[in-house]
Structure 1
Amino acid sequence: MLHRFDSFLASRRRFLQVSAGFGVSLMLPALEGRAAERRGAERATSLITLWMNGGPSQLETWDPHPGTVIGGPTRAIDTSVPGLQIAADLPRMAERMKHLSVIRSLTSKEGDHERGTYFVKTGYRPDPTVTHPAIGAVVPYQLGTDHLEIPAYVSLGGGEWPGRGGYLGDQHDAFRIFEPGNSIQNLRARVSDKRQERRLSGLDVVSQTFRAQRQVQAERSLHGQTIDKALRMMSSEQLEAFEVDQESEATLQRYGDSSFGRGCLVARRLIETGVRSVEVTLSGFDSHANNFETQTARCEQLDPAFASLLDDLRERDLYDSTIILCLGEFGRTPRINGLEGRDHWPGGFSCVVGGGGLKSGQVIGATDPEGEQTSPVDPVPVQNLYATILQQLNIDPAEELITPIGRPLAICEGSLIPKLLVDAG
């Protein structure tokens, strides 16, 4: 059983309840410049992950096989990449595929939702002796978080297993926002400034006493760091990045009237502010029954939000410094079961990746249109995808980080994908 966020979230909840009068919440380092004013090569590199929770069907998204036994009723449409077709439920994305690349041959050995999520988010299979950090946590850890007063790693939307800091520490867990676009709660004091100061002074006395008698426990609790970071965050103008009130109605409609659509819009605002890593979750892809209706309904949310996010990043000169990745924990079986559903399929599924200087218009790998071959053509292990992304973000995937017990572990054990790298020819 994987470690969950329950204990950490519970302690955070207890802290907020106790200190609601102080108006505190979490977060990160000091502001020396306005990241939102930087564009192109001047700004920090970032990663946006559009997480398709539940296992999206490659056959109803990025790898349709119409007219075959395994294809079902799903239709395909041409895209802006010659020879590339995707599912007809993604018309906006079809027009924009020239800015992205498709990998149709991702492989994993984990067909369970929890284990598969762990593996695809970390690049490592679950190990009872260590909890690996999600790639989304590694990015800000390695690249730094200068100029930020808000979290450097943010998870928008639901989902059972958001990214964790793992052996890097709980302070690197994703900061979760369940309803993107709304103001963050508990960030305004409910009392006057003078009374707030008195309360903070009293809390400081208690905290100093606790540290004096239980230094190890105090360090492990992150209590002091949480308060310091929260107080900086409370007065930060960067908090506006979490809200969409300033966006026009046309923009809101363009992204789509959904939690995922608002999440993608907030992701753009966060990246524009200088946040290093953002994960936006779209749930509901687990289609053991009624696969085609289920996948179509999800694509109706994915298509406008993904397309609008892509457009905005490009128009605002943010795309070359932002890698955008869309994937889930595995795909769905070529075989259609008796409930008109598809089951779990980690042996050959799809993802879309682009931005950050990666090659666009590439189609990597292929799956058997008849569903007889269990292995895809030109298989790409998940580790290779992350090694390539990390390399493009100027992070050495082979660099070893030291766990709390002194164990050296490579950030990623994968190999680079030459077809995605401009310098590789």
Structure 2
Amino acid sequence: MRRRPGPFDWQQLSRRDALRISVAGGLSFLLPPLGVRAREERGTGRAKSLILLWMNGGQSQLESWDPHPGGPAGISTSLGTISTSIPGVEIAESYPQMAEQLHRVSVIRSLVSQETSHERGRHAVRTGHRQLRHVVHPTLGAILAHQLPTVEVALPPYLSLLGPPRSYEGGHLGHQYDAFKVHQPGGALKNVDAGVSSERLARRRKNLAVLTNSFRRGREAAAEVKTYERAVDRAQQLMDSKQLDVFRIDTESQATRAAYGSHEFGRGCLVARRLVERGVRVVEVSLNGWDSHVDNLTKQRGRAKVLDPAMSALIDDLAARDLLQSTVVLCVGEFGRTPTINKNEGRDHWPHAFSCLVGGGGIAGGRRIGATDPTGQSRAPSDPVSIPDLHATILATLGVEYGKRLQTPTGRRLAICTGSPVAQLLAE
């Protein structure tokens, strides 16, 4: 069986490898072409961009956004709770900074999925569809890059910061909609500088043009030729771009950098703010380490020390720059954790009723959607929100026709999303 190539990874390639891959199949950010003037509005909805904070491994709802203190032994969290800026809503005490920002987003406590494994859970939450053998669905980010109007920025429309491999695919839309991956946010991109003088680079480009013209003869209609030429053109424009400074955070004040935190996730969140400020459509920032089958409390506390300052700084920064009204922020993982604590003091996988935070871009803030039972053990939360419903809400906010059908390379017509928007989140 022929192995399907993985997503493009710029920072692990040499310049020669990058050119070779561009000839074979195109870079991950090559469509649509640059130089096209952005529409007056980047979408028909109020929102223009999405920042996804991906909690890789599955964050515990009980030690974050839906604590159940004082319950039966072996079920409740030993963490205390704190009041938030949403009246009547308490969260785990590990999130004091987010408690102050919570009115700017909404808390969904009744998110439901059907998948209990990491791979299938990631696919379900990231694409809005269950995993099938013969169809690879595009992620939400790929859909947005495909459906939203282009903007005049020499930057990829869809980026993944700190993400694992093979989780950010364009699916049946093609690899041109894979996320552009950045492993070390906060510094200059690797392998973008030509590494030679401008004169030598000009000679190389001239020689490349000669080879391209020779290769084109007799193949004018071939898709491979068009993909190759588009790849080279976009790669050259990115190399020449004056916008690459967006990845460097040394121009930010010390106070701003300190607010996000000194860890790579905090730097990733700061870069995400800088990217949407430049007009990038989708930025994902991943935080690993949530899979707490052993010693759950220690792991959840440790991750909270990273997430709390970074996410609260991001939301506060977006609001201060008038970007929150045009940027949807979603914090979610592939599932939650079991209400019962196992013999290793850990919590296992629980897709039946878990939590997420979502806000910005016109999504109503300060709301609590759904509820779990007093112990959190019920598999039937009140006012359940399915993953497709969450996707439909975000797509509608960004002005995408979420029920639209797209044709796959095999001729099948598949709906972008099978859910319906959550009315409470779209109400003013």
Q: TM-score of the superposition, structure 1-length normalised?
A: 0.91
Equivalence for 1:275 = 280
2:370 to 349, 365, 368: 365
Asked if 1:186 corresponds to 2:191, the answer is yes
Structure 1 runs not aligned, ≥5 long: none
Aligned residue for 1:95, secondary structure, equals helix
Structure 2 runs not aligned, ≥5 long: 21-25
Asked if 1:162 corresponds to 2:164, the answer is no
User: Residue by residue, what CA displacement relative to the aligned partner does 1:33-60 show, whole Å, maximum 9, x if unpaired?
Assistant: 799xx99x99971111000000000111
Q: Which moved more, 1:3-12 or 1:245-254?
A: 3-12
Equivalence for 1:64 = 67
Asked if 1:332 corresponds to 2:342, the answer is no
Distance 2:260 2:10 in 1: 33
Q: Which moved more, 1:24-33 or 1:414-423?
A: 24-33
Distance 1:269 1:5 in 2: 30
Shift of the 78–122 alpha-carbon distance from structure 1 to 2, 3 Å rule, reads same
User: Residue by residue, what CA displacement relative to the aligned partner does 1:375-401 show, whole Å, maximum 9, x if unpaired?
Assistant: 212211100011011111111101111
Maintained 8 Å contact 2:11/2:181:
no
Equivalence for 1:307 = 312
Instruction: Tell me the amino acid that sits aligned with residue 13 of structure 1.
Output: L
Q: Which moved more, 1:168-177 or 1:237-246?
A: 237-246
Maintained 8 Å contact 1:401/1:408:
yes
Shift of the 10–209 alpha-carbon distance from structure 1 to 2, 3 Å rule, reads farther
Aligned residue for 1:6, secondary structure, equals coil
1:279 is displaced (CA, Å) by 0.4
Instruction: Tell me the amino acid that sits aligned with residue 30 of structure 1.
Output: L
Aligned pair count reads 417
Maintained 8 Å contact 1:330/1:344:
yes
Maintained 8 Å contact 1:26/1:230:
no
Distance 1:235 1:154 in 2: 19
Aligned residue for 2:141, secondary structure, equals helix
Instruction: Tell me the amino acid that sits aligned with residue 6 of structure 1.
Output: G
Equivalence for 1:223 = 228
1:406 is displaced (CA, Å) by 2.0
1:372 is displaced (CA, Å) by 3.9
Maintained 8 Å contact 1:56/1:328:
yes
1:14-413 map, 5 Å: 16-17=16-17, 19=19, 27=29, 29-30=33-34, 45-69=48-72, 70-212=75-217, 219=224, 222-413=227-418
1:192 is displaced (CA, Å) by 1.8
Shift of the 273–230 alpha-carbon distance from structure 1 to 2, 3 Å rule, reads same
Maintained 8 Å contact 2:216/2:225:
no
CA RMSD of aligned residues (A): 2.9
Distance 1:378 1:4 in 2: 40
Distance 2:45 2:398 in 1: 14
Q: Which moved more, 1:134-143 or 1:175-184?
A: 134-143
1:194 is displaced (CA, Å) by 2.2
Distance 1:403 1:223 in 2: 22
Equivalence for 1:13 = 13
Distance 1:256 1:304 in 2: 6
Maintained 8 Å contact 1:180/1:266:
yes
Q: Which moved more, 1:383-392 or 1:232-241?
A: 232-241
Aligned residue for 1:384, secondary structure, equals helix
Maintained 8 Å contact 2:82/2:92:
yes
Instruction: Tell me the amino acid that sits aligned with residue 234 of structure 1.
Output: M
User: Residue by residue, what CA displacement relative to the aligned partner does 1:100-139 show, whole Å, maximum 9, x if unpaired?
Assistant: 1010111111111111111100001111221111111111
Aligned residue for 2:109, secondary structure, equals strand
Maintained 8 Å contact 2:10/2:191:
no
1:403 is displaced (CA, Å) by 1.2
Instruction: Tell me the amino acid that sits aligned with residue 68 of structure 1.
Output: G
Distance 1:111 1:277 in 2: 27
Maintained 8 Å contact 2:97/2:312:
yes
Maintained 8 Å contact 1:34/1:273:
no
Instruction: Tell me the amino acid that sits aligned with residue 63 of structure 2.
Output: E
Q: Which moved more, 1:250-259 or 1:156-165?
A: 156-165
Aligned residue for 1:137, secondary structure, equals helix
Distance 1:382 1:144 in 2: 25
Distance 2:50 2:204 in 1: 39
Distance 1:221 1:131 in 2: 25
Q: TM-score of the superposition, structure 2-length normalised?
A: 0.90
Distance 2:312 2:150 in 1: 28
Q: Which has the higher helix share?
A: 1
1:224 is displaced (CA, Å) by 2.8
Aligned residue for 2:322, secondary structure, equals coil
Maintained 8 Å contact 1:288/1:341:
yes
